[in-house]
Amino acid sequence: MTHTSKFIICLISFLLISLFAQAQQSTNTPKHSPHKATLYSAILPGLGQAYNKKYWKIPIIYAGIGAFVYAIDFNSKHYQLYKNAYQDWVINDHLNKRYTRFIPPNYSEVQIRTEHDAWFEEVLQSKKQYYKRYRDLSYIGLTAVYVLQIIEAAVDAHFFDFNISDDLSLKLTPGIINITNSEPTLGVTFNFRL
């Protein structure tokens, strides 16, 4: 063989090796990123779960968000009603009587003002505080659902490539343990197979 033919054979083999190396590099799959899942969930609730391909979790997240948004709306409306009624009752302005809807049907306004003034004021005040408290708790619950879905997406992304083999086993067997310079003793042997 001449030097040129050896050179051509080496050149062709080098090109083939580099061609196969490029083909192998392009088949590598990108690693699943917990950072992306966390970021996606922070941007839009449920998007991190979609990135993790856990689509069944998305309706649960939005059901929780919807329930707390409804509770916030309900409690805010009632809080405003009782707040306005309490203010009108305390001010005792005859033009603003938003408290009349809360007077029991078997009592008149005059009767409530003269005989049960302190009681009615206390009822309006306690109802106002009640709805304010549950409105605030609903905001806390909404925040908790939002934060928990971000944490769940991050943890699930960490376990995305985690493979649980069917060969997991635990085997308990009785055994005799021989220790040098002493008598044999009975024991239990644990065998783990991972």
| Closest to 169 (Cα-Cα) out of 135, 192, 141 | 192
Local confidence band at 175 (pLDDT 50, 70, 90 cut-offs)? confident
59 token code pair: 């309706």
- What digits encode the pLDDT tens for the residues 4-25? 666 666 556 655 565 555 444 5
3-state secondary structure of 178: coil
Local confidence band at 162 (pLDDT 50, 70, 90 cut-offs)? confident
Distances (CA, A) of 143 to 42, 138, 176: 12, 9, 58
- What digits encode the pLDDT tens for the residues 104-130? 888 888 888 888 889 989 999 999 999
What residue type is 49 in one-letter code?
Q
pLDDT at site 150: 97
Which residue carries 């391909």 as its tokens? 53
How far separated are the first and last CA of the chain, in Å rounded? 56
Domain ranges of the chain: 32-165
Q: What is the CA radius of gyration of the chain?
A: 36
Examine the pLDDT at 191 and tell me if it is beyond 90: no
Contacts of 157 (CB under 8 A, 6+ apart): 32, 33, 34, 36, 37, 38, 48, 51, 52
Q: What percent of the chain has pLDDT over 70?
A: 80
pLDDT at site 30: 76
| Closest to 47 (Cα-Cα) out of 156, 143, 163 | 156
Local confidence band at 103 (pLDDT 50, 70, 90 cut-offs)? confident
- Quote the CA–CA distance of 126 and 191 in Å, as a whole number: 63
14 vs 32: which has the higher pLDDT? 32
* Phi/psi at 175 (5° precision): -155, 165
CB-based contact 45:164 (threshold 8 Å): no
